[in-house]
Amino acid sequence: MDQIQAMRIFVRVVEAGTFTRAADSLNLPKATVTKHVQALEERLRVKLLNRTTRRVTVTPDGAAYYDRTVRLLTDLDDIEASMTNARANPRGRLRIDVGTSVAQLLIIPHLAEFHARYPDIQVDLGVSDRMVDLIGDNVDCVIRGGELSDQSLVARRIGNLEFITVASPDYLARKGTPTHPLEIEEKHVSVIYFSPQSGRHYPLEFQKGSESIDITGPYHLSVNESNAYVTSIVAGLGIGQISSWQAQRHFSSGTLVQLLPDWTQTLLPVYVVYPPNRHLSAKVRAFVDWAAELFQREAHLQRTA
């Protein structure tokens, strides 16, 4: 049995929290993962994990072994990268997770360019508006909007999103055009976005000078996926707020109209985020730099106040 492989499997089990999730992320049978961990414990003559039917937790000895093993494996990966010219020719499997709009409108349309530049990187692209657990889900990096809550992660700011208020021409023909945010609450209906993680409903936000107004309804529809949210507004189901970047193609086709341009929102920062123990990976560095370059090309992804 390869000792380094057993160490990598042990680390993955600790980070995933269960043997099943670890096995899935490693594309190995669960029995193989269990066998490697048991053999590691037998060789070390120490119990590394406490096992229950639903989850595994590390013992004090296991925690100490995990900390030193992670540092060792990171150093080994760095040595391999420097000795095999991986910085110039990064290779391997790269697990990325991005929001649905960014995937559909930006990342996927340009992935052929990424593969042409880095032909030896295999991309596993997760697409969801739900926040993932980078460590537990074994994801190398994510692209997400909003301020970061987990300060243990490494983040690079790659853009800013400006949000604007929009509606379809059909909706405006039926309901009229509001001239003030409060008219939306009094005479119109909104399409509301709610968090796929917490279920929280996000209001329509309006700022003008020192005045700030939040509109939470009335609404006939709320959705928790950004592409569906835009489609709902285009379908005439209400007034909503989307990024100016998303809106451009709909302005060009005439399917959406901007409302209340004098009222603004706080810009939403966009980050590419990765765990601290991945910072030396050549394949992660390649994607982070490419994503930053991709965002830089789009003026509506680099808005300023």
Query: What pLDDT, on the 0 to 100 scale, is given for residue 255?
Result: 97
Residue 1 confidence class, pLDDT cut points 50, 70, 90? very low
Least confident of 52-66, 157-171, 193-207, 270-284: 270-284
- HEC sequence for the chain: CCHHHHHHHHHHHHHHCCHHHHHHHHCCCHHHHHHHHHHHHHHHCCCCEEECCCCEEECHHHHHHHHHHHHHHHHHHHHHHHHCCCCCCCCEEEEEEECHHHHHHHHHHHHHHHHHHCCCEEEEEEECCCCCCCCCCCCCEEEEECCCCCCCCEEEEEEEECEEEEECHHHHHHHCCCCCHHHHHHHCCEEEEECCCCCCEECEEEEECCEEEEECCCEEEEECCHHHHHHHHHCCCCEEEEEHHHHHHHHHHCCCEEECCCCECCCEEEEEEECHHHCCCHHHHHHHHHHHHHHHHCHHHECCC
Percent of the chain with pLDDT over 90: 56
Q: Which two tokens stand for residue 266?
A: 């706080």
What tens digit of pLDDT does each residue of 225-254 get? Answer: 999 999 999 999 999 999 999 999 999 999
Residue 2 has pLDDT above 90, yes or no: no
Stretch 78-101: mean pLDDT, rounded? 77
Q: Please tell me the distance from the alpha carbon of residue 151 to that of residue 281, in angstroms, as a whole number.
A: 20
pTM over 0.85: no
Query: What pLDDT, on the 0 to 100 scale, is given for residue 83?
Result: 60
Instruction: Specify the pairing of strand 121-127 against strand 154-161.
Output: unpaired
